[in-house]
């Protein structure tokens, strides 16, 4: 004989929406923690403060002189907002012909445009 229970029998359900909420919370928490741990590392560099305009021949001579005295010298290129792309390419050609192959570009964020830099 089969006796039924007076308590109605319900099937268990897995609710997926709370799982999705928890996963998004964990993802957002992980992203915030990982972004806060990124530290920008930089090297303090003494930049030239003189704003003398130098023609291409004098610049090439200076580059050759610096490369001969220190072949591992670090070169940082920084152009202003109105610099023509062709001038930067010409400078890179001059650096390469002088013997420099490791060149760094110094850039400034749009958010920091009004903030004076270390050489100004």
The pTM is what?
0.49
pLDDT recorded at residue 85: 85
Q: Which two tokens stand for residue 102?
A: 């490791």
The residue with greater pLDDT, 114 or 25, is 25
Least confident of 39-48, 79-88, 91-100: 39-48
The DSSP annotation for 80-110 comes to -TT--HHHHHHHHHHHHHHT---EEE----G
Mean pLDDT, the chain, rounded, equals 81
Q: Is the pLDDT of residue 23 over 80?
A: yes
- Give yes or no for a contact between 83 and 89, defined as CB atoms under 8 angstroms apart: no
């Amino acid at each position: 004989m089969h006796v039924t229970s007076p308590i109605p029998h319900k099937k268990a359900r897995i609710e997926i929406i709370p799982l999705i909420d928890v996963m998004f919370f964990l993802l957002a928490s992980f992203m915030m923690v990982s972004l806060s741990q990124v530290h920008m590392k930089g090297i303090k560099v003494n930049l030239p403060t003189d704003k003398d305009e130098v023609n291409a021949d004098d610049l090439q001579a200076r580059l050759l002189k610096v490369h001969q005295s220190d072949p591992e010298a670090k070169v940082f290129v920084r152009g202003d907002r109105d610099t023509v792309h062709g001038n930067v390419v010409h400078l890179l050609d001059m650096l390469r012909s002088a013997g420099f192959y490791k060149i760094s570009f110094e850039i400034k964020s749009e958010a920091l445009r009004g903030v004076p830099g270390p050489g100004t």
